């Protein structure tokens, strides 16, 4: 018989559904960002918690109009307990500065709050377990514009198998049963831009489009 190891067994799929249901119930019980941080930190359904040093929840201003969602903490983020504080974070700060923003004017989080060992890619199971918390996080922040940072975040949030090359460069939408449509613009991950600087040109176009949309939609809040 042919066994394809990349396809989870029915038993694994059932376990994953149960995990997701538990995560969703916990996440939905949170009624504020602080509440969600406590609930998520106490969640034991993601094994990465065992190996990570710190829970990395968010940085910046939860009342901001722009919400950035990256993939997962790296070594420096794990050490400090803050997202995007390593080399990729420094480039993200420069990208923000290019459109006249700094960290106090945006809100930044990740799909996963715990560092995968050795920065390996997160597994589908890890993402499935944490996604209900991210969705709740977005609902509680209710940003005016959502920015998935990199392919992993874009695929998870937009529930697609398309890669970032196809997903960036255009406006998309994100909504949940409890939240109206949020205009969404995926961008290349700064860690990728550090390796492939030629893609900075396209990223600049995305940043300009984001800035323009912010200006069009008014200057309420930050
Ligand atoms: N890469 C990410 O996706 N998130 C971080 O917080 C740091 C690096």
Contact 19, 128 (CB under 8 A): yes
| Per-residue model confidence (pLDDT) at position 217 | 86
Quote the pLDDT of residue 4: 60
Measured in Å, residue 71 CA sits from the centre of ligand 1 at: 6
**∠ at Cα 114 (108, 117), nearest 5°?**
125
Residues in the chain with pLDDT < 50? 220-222
Tokens of 150: 């990199």
Ligand 1 proximity of 116 Cβ (cutoff 6 Å) = no
In angstroms, what is the span from residue 1 Cα to ligand 1's centroid? 41
The predicted structure's pLDDT at residue 5: 62
Which of 75, 85, 89, 164 has most ligand 1 atoms within 8 Å of CB, for mutation?
89
CB 114 within 8 A of CB 213: no
- The confidence score (pLDDT) of residue 9 equals 86
d(CA 165, CA 158): 14
Model pLDDT, residue 220: 46
**Is-above-0.85 flag for pTM?**
yes
Pocket test for ligand 1, best of 71, 81, 119 (most atoms within 8 A of CB): 71
In testing the pocket of ligand 1, which one of 48, 53, 78, 86 has its CB within 8 Å of the most ligand atoms? 86
Residue 199 tokens, joined: 């893609």
**CB of 84 closer than 6 angstroms to any ligand 1 atom:** yes
pLDDT at residue 2 in the model:
61
């Amino acid at each position: 018989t042919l066994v394809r190891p990349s396809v989870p067994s029915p038993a694994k799929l059932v376990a994953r559904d149960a995990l997701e249901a538990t995560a969703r119930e916990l996440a939905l019980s949170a009624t504020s960002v602080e509440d969600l941080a406590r609930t998520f930190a106490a969640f034991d359904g993601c094994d990465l918690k065992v190996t990570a040093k710190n829970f990395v929840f968010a940085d910046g201003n939860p009342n901001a109009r722009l919400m950035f969602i990256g993939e997962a903490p790296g070594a420096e983020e794990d050490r400090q307990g803050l997202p995007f504080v390593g080399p990729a974070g420094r480039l993200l700060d420069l990208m923000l500065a290019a459109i006249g923003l700094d960290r106090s004017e945006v809100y930044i989080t990740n799909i996963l709050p715990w560092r995968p060992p050795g920065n390996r890619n997160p597994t589908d199971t890890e993402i499935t377990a944490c996604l209900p918390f991210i969705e709740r996080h977005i609902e509680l922040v209710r940003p005016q514009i959502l920015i998935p940072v990199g392919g992993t975040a874009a695929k998870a949030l937009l529930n697609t198998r398309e890669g970032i090359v196809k997903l960036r460069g255009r406006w998309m939408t994100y909504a949940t049963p409890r939240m109206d449509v949020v205009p969404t613009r995926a961008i290349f991950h700064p860690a990728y831009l550090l390796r492939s600087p030629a893609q900075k040109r396209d990223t600049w176009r995305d940043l300009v489009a984001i800035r323009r949309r912010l200006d069009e939609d008014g200057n309420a809040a930050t």
